A = this chain, B = another copy of it.
Amino acid sequence: MPTPKPGRPVRGSRTGRPIMAALDLLGRRWTLRVLWELRDGPLTFRALRDACEGVSPTVLNTRLRELQDGRIVEKTEGGYGLTPGGLGLSKALRPLDSWARSWAAPS
């Protein structure tokens, strides 16, 4: 399965709308988690593995390649880090944390 990109058909949408590519990409296992773990700076492959306890190196590498392909993650001196665009995505994801906390609170 190729890396979803804006402007091209993705799984579940032939329109090529950016949001559809994003939803496809982020809806793959561990993708959101990896972005979350990288929010405070670069991590090495092995540190990232440890942060996402239980992810297999196969999938981690696949996800990293997809994210690099989408210019969201890049290799830096300190390991894998967010690109400027990836940083924007990470910020767009922040509200999730406060939502999750309110979700956890009893209704």
Residues of A within 8 A of B (CB): 6-7, 11-14, 17-24, 26-33, 36, 52-55, 70-72, 84-85, 88-89, 91-93, 95-104, 107
Residues from chain B with a CB closer than 8 A to the CB of A24 are 33
Cα–Cα distance between A12 and B98 once the two chains are bound (Å): 20
Grouping DSSP codes into helix (H, G, I), strand (E, B) and loop, the A interface class, with mixed when no group exceeds half, is helix
The answer to whether A96 and B19 touch (CB under 8 A), given A27-B27, A85-B103, is yes
Q: A27-B31, A28-B27 are in contact. Are A104 and B7 (CB under 8 A)?
A: yes
Point out the residue from B11, B22, B27 that lies within 8 Å of A99, measured CB to CB. B22
- Report the minimum CB–CB distance from A61 to chain B (whole Å): 16
B95 engages A6 (CB within 8 Å): no
Determine whether the beta carbon of B102 is less than 8 Å from that of A85. Answer: yes
A39 CB to nearest chain B CB (Å): 11
Q: A88-B99, A104-B7 are in contact. Are A36 and B23 (CB under 8 A)?
A: yes
